[in-house]
Amino acid sequence: MKRLASAATVLGLGALVVACGNSEDDRTTAAATTPSTPSKACPRQAAADASYASRFEAAVSMSANKHVLRVTKDGRPLSGAAVCVNTAMVGMRSMRYSARGRELAPGRYEVGVKFAMQGTYRGNVVTTQDGREISIPVTVKVGSHDMKSGKGSGMDDTMKSHTTTSGDTMDTMTSDGR
């Protein structure tokens, strides 16, 4: 009986050491492998509300450091709200951007972000007004540096979504609009 109690104690202590481990090392590893994180001030998720909408005022290019975002509620400019944009490149989750907006005029918010790669980004605009956080879906098509001529900008491409045989939604870029 004494042997059984000793064996149980040794096994219990061993299990405790394995379960607890060195938690500091675990946190360091998790932080090192996590893709870029959003700004601490930007919430990632909020309640959706179809009466809100957002879009970038002009074509978004890689050369611009700031972009103007229009935010509306029931089709009218949203004024006095806190606005934050969270985006991730389609197919490259490590290409994430998150930035707070600064109100320029009613419904117009300047967002300071420089996209490093051309392509399609999806995410949300989280707006906070009267203590309520609302998530507005957003798709950003980032073109190359030469936006005025339209050459190499990718702005003629059309985003198409389709469902694969496994049920996943995939995005396809085509230049003929099909």
Q: What is the pLDDT of residues 140-177, one digit of tens each?
A: 999 976 444 444 433 333 333 344 444 444 444 433 33
Q: Which of 128, 166, 156, 143 is nearest to 63 (CA)?
A: 143
The pair of structure tokens assigned to 46 is 């909020």
Can you give the pLDDT at residue 74? 95
Can you give the pLDDT at residue 92? 87
Can you give the pLDDT at residue 6? 61
Q: Is residue 168 part of a domain?
A: no
Q: Is residue 27 part of a domain?
A: no
The phi-psi region of residue 151 (left if phi > 0; otherwise alpha if psi is between -120 and 50; otherwise beta) is beta
CATH number of the domain at 123, please.
Answer: 2.60.40.10
Q: Is residue 54 part of a domain?
A: yes
Q: Is residue 135 part of a domain?
A: yes
- Is 0.85 topped by the overall pTM? no
Count of structural domains, the chain: 1
Which is higher by pLDDT, 31 or 140?
Answer: 140
Q: Is residue 55 part of a domain?
A: yes
Q: Is residue 165 part of a domain?
A: no
Q: Is the dihedral of CA 17, 18, 20, 24 positive or negative?
A: positive
What domain range is 76 assigned to? 35-143
Q: Is residue 79 part of a domain?
A: yes
Q: Is residue 133 part of a domain?
A: yes
Can you give the pLDDT at residue 132? 87
Q: pLDDT tens digit string along 92-135? A: 878 889 999 999 999 999 999 999 999 999 999 999 888 889 99
Q: Which of 3, 47, 60, 66 is nearest to 137 (CA)?
A: 47
